[in-house]
Structure 1
């Protein structure tokens, strides 16, 4: 389903108006978008074809008027199904001139002399075109000044619309239903790699469109990290199992985890789990409009400090939406002010001993009245999966 069928025309008109207002405030005459999420935010162009690195894709947002797509001809039909009407194409791949002349001509058409052009250049961004082509474009546009538009783009996208929140709530519910079925796929002696595969199948069966991200871990009294690929090591009594999913519905992610004890949980495991549950609650209570990302971090960290641990994994949460992780980061130094419409993960972690950790994660939205859980809250005590081999 194309994103233009997911969102009404008014959604894209609102997004464009917000961007152009911020562009005017920043003194920008135009905006060049090259990344999947930025292009989709403005146009509704939803496709997994971005997995192929062969072709670049460009969208130009002028200071006034509607966006212009300069894209490979293979995408013309899909882009025509969006609200974008000015679609200019070339036959790609053509490495000697892969849309650069077309893009330059388009920009010269809509930009004034000595223009100021915005481009995402900062943290959490990537230039999705060959650097040599960008240098050629820059030289062709001279004396146009190309400036960093990262702040403008991320602050606009951080505030989710009601329809975006509905979709994120839906994928969170899908993830929750898959987690509720965990005992269907977990048993002592089963390789962790098999659990990963079967968990992805559960997510798809519950309604996820695709599952770009599954992580987790398992180990006696804790797991060593939360990013390693699953091994064929079998689950054992005494393991703590954690699964973390970034499943997608209509182009939007959920990102939360759940922990279980394989067999009876030890007192240490129960205590660590309750501490992280309490830390999540503290972060939730702190996450109110007008406070900062760092304040939410400190609220969770203060609970973790009770265990004499510095935590695990660095930041204790992040933004969420079209990307698995978005601006802002819940760290001690991120002074981003929280606003209604922001979606965040709360992700406190605890190092229980060298090589053993536990992490808990929930998804929330900031509203005018305070935070609201988008995930069904995990159980306050660690669930036990007591199956026998």
Structure 2
């Protein structure tokens, strides 16, 4: 495992990603793929910076049908990009609203061999263009090729993780588990959600996380009604149930799982709901194998929840892909039907409304292997943990 804990990736890893993309381009009859977002730029170049937090400057990478990626970046980032495996780097003094790199990108695309006259861009599902729409429209008018949607193909490319990627996710899951383990000792009645989450963040950072950009908390008497809000300044009282869901990152790869606790005591109904989502996770794991589908995972988990009196599921899905982004395709839904393959990293996230205004959500991280699945997160306790601090 230690071979994969160093920062970044070997050039061979990035070259393999590019080669796989070029195979897809041949199948889709594309002369190039055009990328603008941080995850995709980083995926093909290895370029990693916090500067993406600034919306002022656009960044572009073109992966041609043959050869290495070409980066078209603001001058402020040229030296950083030069530290990657990319050789061909074009730059301009951004921001330059009248032509913010558009003519440079057009020049690169027009100079490529035009075998098919088509360029792939992430225009569709779970994708976006990190550039002004007007600039994209201007680019399409300057390039003598047709722009077509390649978003689904790019999602499918990134779904299959290398061993190096898997080990990075395994490491951030280990770190996240360490943070969760400390909550049982540190959290106590009278603390606020915000105070508990602040200490949780500190613990993960001290354990080796680079950042913890997603930490939510929900609490209430014997249950909670939301898993996307908080943390708030609400004080924990005896009889409360608390959920914390986190996405921590190390070296650009995410964990994404949650834990539940009761304080002082919990009703039998709430304990039973916890057992139901725990058992649903078990059934989801057992169904996770190559050749099965995300819909198989969904029904394996939903049948357990339904049998235990679920009034509904307001999350909309029972897990999703995970990796260079906190949530990736595919989704575990009744209609997704994505075929599972070795190397796919998934979350199992069964959730149920078990009483009016009360939900119970449980989440773990797994990787699909050649003959089944493997836990990446260390499983939670099979019974709801009650904190009596």
Which category of TM-score, normalised to the shorter sequence, fits these structures?
A: over 0.9
Encode CA deviations 1:305-341: one digit per residue, 9 max, x unaligned: 0123223311000000011000000000001100000
Deviation at 1:265, TM superposition (A): 2.4
* Paired position in structure 2 for 1:125: 127
Question: What are the ranges of 5 or more consecutive residues in structure 1 without an aligned counterpart?
Answer: none
SS at match of 2:216: strand
Normalised TM-score (structure 1): 0.97
Report if aligned partners of 1:35, 1:127 keep a CA contact under 8 Å in 2.
yes
Distance 2:155 2:321 in 1: 10
Moved more, 71-80 or 195-204: 195-204
* Correspondence 1:257 to 2:255: no
SS at match of 2:72: strand
* Paired position in structure 1 for 2:203: 202
Deviation at 1:4, TM superposition (A): 9.9
SS at match of 1:265: coil
Deviation at 1:5, TM superposition (A): 5.1
* Paired position in structure 2 for 1:85: 87
Deviation at 1:90, TM superposition (A): 0.4
* Paired position in structure 1 for 2:153: 152
The CA RMSD measured in Å over matched residues stands at: 1.3
Distance 2:165 2:66 in 1: 25
Deviation at 1:199, TM superposition (A): 1.3
Q: Show the 5 A alignment for 1:222-371.
A: 222-309=223-310, 310-371=312-373
Moved more, 4-13 or 176-185: 4-13
SS at match of 2:289: coil
Deviation at 1:384, TM superposition (A): 1.1
Deviation at 1:268, TM superposition (A): 1.2
* Paired position in structure 2 for 1:64: 66
Distance 1:64 1:114, change over 3 A: closer
* Paired position in structure 2 for 1:190: 191
Distance 2:60 2:141 in 1: 18
Distance 2:6 2:231 in 1: 37
Deviation at 1:114, TM superposition (A): 6.5
SS at match of 1:108: helix
Encode CA deviations 1:36-56: one digit per residue, 9 max, x unaligned: 111111000111111111111
Report if aligned partners of 2:288, 2:373 keep a CA contact under 8 Å in 1.
yes
Report if aligned partners of 2:30, 2:116 keep a CA contact under 8 Å in 1.
no
SS at match of 1:97: coil
Report if aligned partners of 1:161, 1:341 keep a CA contact under 8 Å in 2.
yes
Distance 1:101 1:255, change over 3 A: same
Deviation at 1:184, TM superposition (A): 4.1
Report if aligned partners of 1:259, 1:382 keep a CA contact under 8 Å in 2.
yes
Deviation at 1:77, TM superposition (A): 1.2
SS at match of 2:126: coil
SS at match of 2:291: coil
Report if aligned partners of 1:175, 1:254 keep a CA contact under 8 Å in 2.
yes
Question: What are the ranges of 5 or more consecutive residues in structure 2 without an aligned counterpart?
Answer: none
Moved more, 208-217 or 193-202: 193-202
Deviation at 1:80, TM superposition (A): 0.6
SS at match of 1:56: coil
Report if aligned partners of 1:314, 1:331 keep a CA contact under 8 Å in 2.
yes
Deviation at 1:233, TM superposition (A): 1.2
What number of residue pairs does the alignment pair up? 384
Distance 1:88 1:4 in 2: 29
Distance 1:172 1:114, change over 3 A: closer
Distance 1:313 1:296, change over 3 A: same
Report if aligned partners of 1:23, 1:152 keep a CA contact under 8 Å in 2.
no
